[in-house]
Amino acid sequence: MTAEVLLETTGLARAFGPHAAVRGIDLRVGRGECLALLGLNGAGKTTTLEMLCGVLAPGAGTIRVAGHDLLAEPRAARQCLGYLPETPPLQPDARVIDYLHWAAVVRRIPRSRRRHLVERTLERCCLGGVRRRVIRNLSRGYQQRLGIAQAIVHQPPLVVLDEPTVGLDPRQVQGVRALIGDLRRDHGVILSTHVLADVEAACDRVAILHDGRIIHEQAVAPAADGDRRYRLRFDRPPRPDAVQALDGVLAAEAEGEQSLRVVVRDEAALDGIVAQAAHGGWRLRELAREVRTLEQVFLACTAPRPEEAA
Amino acid sequence: MIALRLAGRELRTLFAAPLPWLLLALGQVVGAWWFLTLVERFRGQYQAVLQQTNSPLGVTDLVVAPFFGSYVLLGVLLLAAALLAMRLLAEERRSGSLRLLFAAPLAVTEIVLGKYLAALAYLLVFLAGWLFMPLGLLAGTELDLGRLAAAALALGLVAAAMASVALFASSLVAQPAVAVVLTAGVLLALLGLDTALGSGDPVIAYLAVLPHYEGLVQGRVVSTDALYFLLLTAGFLGFTIRRLDGLRWHGTGV
């Protein structure tokens, strides 16, 4: 990664009494990148994010935010991050604009820059129309936007968002995703979610968190030369070993009565399969590339293992 | 200084709600009623006797000292402190907005100091109102301004201690109602310690609030009494700082 590293953690761990919530997490987020922490409820996402933001002290491990160690230089490190907790830390009785000014004050933004930054943030989060409204009276979507606004008002290099789309209607979700997409252009973003569509729509990389560990990390865009898996359906399906014997076929297994699932070395191997299907009278009816979706990866990763259940 | 900004903001949010105003009004009504009762008693009963006996006692002894030296004003302050306990930290913890402060580049000491100064300022508003009542007597008579100042100092020191107890109670729990009960409990214990036990034990007598308070109200400004209140205040502020640091370490629902 050539981009500036905005967040780096090593061996981050945290236990609550005997229960280990997070056990050894290494993360890296660069500028212009959006990393999603994906996990089931209770996987340790919120605990991890709280540690990143200095709200919760880590049990072990180091956290560096934009080059500052969070424990050794807490003020400098926290200056470089903006945090949206699971419930936005709003003050219900305040007006939108006063609240944002306040959020800038606690980030130690000098008075001379405050007004400008608040105006920019209002515009960026499309909150200009409600600037004089009392927060209590805003809809859930606006409150969530305001939560994001307080996290970015001081233009921190790193933005940490805990479940930014939870409880929003589909249109509001679109809006928040667009905002995240806009943010990652010049900030580093790390967000937690259990909504797979969020990840696919707004993130570059995803780390799947399960039981306090990162068990899978991948780029979100499907790799062009990933697995070459195909699903074939026949009217008169052959035995899998007959297909596996063909040149270039790495694996073949039956799926249901009529379908086969094959892994091939390269696309040329398909010619052999089709030719053999015509020759052997298998009556090929369907041939489709199988892309392993994020959902499949996620479910496979987080499936309870038999030895765990025992 | 950021703690002052925090305090200013805290006061603004405090006064955005009706309850603090209501309590402030109530405090002034109760104070005025008590003050007028004392003035009335002085005019009706004491004045003639004093003139007959050529007594050295005056308005300061018979109106100002009992005005500050009774449970009435202390009770109102206690009520106000309990209300503050509800608002200061407990509510921020419950609503989750404390996370904004915890994730911001602020030291726990700054957060605690900001909240404390706001609490103290609110209690001092009560005090200012009450102070104007005896000052009004200046229009018709002479007052011992030194003793009035000592009494104001005494009440101010009590307010400082009460604010820090309230802040500490507020940091202990995330349920505002529990914070109210805790504050009232601790303050009542501190106020009533000597009277309730009445043992004459020097340790208990030193720990109790009232002996120190009464000395100051009577005009005896002793540094040990002032020190007692400052220790009490600093102690509870220290507990609060430790408690908030602990929230970060133990993560008990910031």
**Element (DSSP H or E) covering residue B65:** helix B65-69
Residue A310 lies in a domain: no
Contacts of B99 in chain A (CB under 8 A): 53, 55, 83, 85, 89
Same domain, A78 and A115: yes
- Tell me if A224 is assigned to some domain: no
* Closest residue on chain A to B91 (Cα): A91
Interface of B with A in 27-56 (CB under 8 A): none
CB pair distance less than 8 Å for A103 and B100: yes
Asked whether residue A276 is assigned to any structural domain, the reply reads yes
Partner-chain contact B103 A54, CB within 8 Å:
yes
> Is A81 part of the contact surface with chain B (CB cutoff 8 Å)?
yes
Question: Which residues of chain B are within 8 Å of residue A143 when distances are taken between CB atoms?
Answer: none
Interface residue of B4, B5, B15, B100 to substitute, partner A, most A CBs within 10 Å: B100
Q: Specify if A295 maps to a domain.
A: no
Pick from A54, A87, A107: CB nearest B102: A54
A52 plus A192 within the same structural domain? yes
The DSSP symbol for A222 reads P
**CA R_g for chain A:** 24
Within this chain, do residues A109 and A77 fall inside the same structural domain, yes or no? Answer: yes
Residue A242 lies in a domain: yes
Q: What is the pLDDT of residue B201?
A: 75
Distance from CA of B94 to the nearest CA of A (A): 10
Q: How far apart are CA A260 and CA A257, in angstroms?
A: 9
User: Domain check: are A145 and A274 in the same one?
Assistant: no
Residues A71 and A10 in one domain: yes
Q: What is the pLDDT of residues B154-192, one digit of tens each?
A: 999 999 999 999 999 999 988 999 999 999 999 998 887
With contacts defined as CB-CB under 8 Å, which chain B residues touch A91? Answer: 13, 97
Q: Give the helix ranges, DSSP H, for B70-175.
A: 71-85, 92-95, 98-103, 108-136, 145-172
Tell whether A93 is within 8 A of chain B (Cβ).
Answer: yes
B101-135 pLDDT, tens digit each: 999 999 999 999 999 999 999 999 999 999 999 99
Which residue of A47, A90, A107 is in closest CB contact with B104?
A107
Same domain, A215 and A237: no
Check CB contact under 8 Å for B103 and A105.
Answer: no
The mean of the pLDDT values for chain B is 88
Per-residue pLDDT at B219: 83
Domain match, A253 and A132 both: no
Residue A28: give its domain's CATH number: 3.40.50.300
Does residue A271 belong to any structural domain of this protein? yes
For B13, the closest of A74, A81, A94 (CB atoms) is: A94
Q: Which of A48, A56, A162 to mutate against chain B (most B CBs within 10 Å)?
A: A56
pLDDT band at B196 (very low <50, low <70, confident <90, very high): low
CATH number, position A255: 3.30.70
Mean pLDDT of B224-240: 93
Name the residue in chain A with its Cα closest to that of B96.
A89
Both A54 and A194 in one domain: the answer is yes
Which residue among A55, A83, A91 sits closest to B248, beta carbon to beta carbon?
A55
pLDDT score of A258: 85
Sheet with A60-65, strands from edge to edge, namely A19-30, A5-16, A60-65, A68-69
Q: Which residue of B has its CA nearest to A94?
A: B13
CB proximity B6 to A under 8 Å: yes
Residue A309 lies in a domain: no
ipTM value of the model?
0.81
Q: Do A89 and B254 touch (CB under 8 A)?
A: no
Torsion, Cα A148 A110 B13 A123, to 10 degrees, reads -40
Same domain flag for A142 and A233: no
Residues B247 and B103: beta-carbon distance below 8 Å: no
B16 touches A: beta carbon within 8 Å? yes
Which chain B residue has the Cα nearest residue A52?
A: B103
What pLDDT does A96 receive? 94
- Per the confidence metrics, is the pTM higher than 0.90? no
Q: Are residues A43 and A15 in the same domain?
A: yes
- Beta strand A19-30 with A249-255 is unpaired
Residue A70 and residue A94 in one domain: yes
CB pair distance less than 8 Å for B100 and A150: yes
Last residue of a domain, one of A185, A200, A219: A219
Give me the average pLDDT of each 10-residue run along chain A (310 residues). Answer: 79 89 90 89 89 90 91 91 91 90 92 93 90 91 90 92 86 86 88 85 88 85 64 88 86 85 85 88 87 76 62
Query: Which positions in chain A touch B95 (Cβ < 8 Å)?
Result: 87, 89-90, 92
Distance of CA A58 to the CA centre of its chain: 22
Range of the domain at A57: 5-219
How many domains would you assign to chain A? 2
The amino acid sitting at A160 is: V
Task: Determine the average pLDDT of the residues in B11-20.
Answer: 89
CA separation, residue A163 to residues A76, A146, A156, A178, B105 (Å): 25, 14, 19, 15, 23
Contact B100/A89, CB-based, under 8 Å? yes
Query: Is A251 in a helix, a strand, or coil?
Result: strand
- Joined tokens for residue A8: 């780096």
Is the Cβ of A42 closer than 8 Å to some Cβ of chain B?
no
Q: Do A265 and A157 share a structural domain? A: no
Chain A residue whose CA is closest to B253: A56
Which residues in chain A are closer than 8 Å to B18, comparing Cβ atoms?
Answer: none
Residue A301 included in any domain: no
Mean pLDDT of B17-38: 93
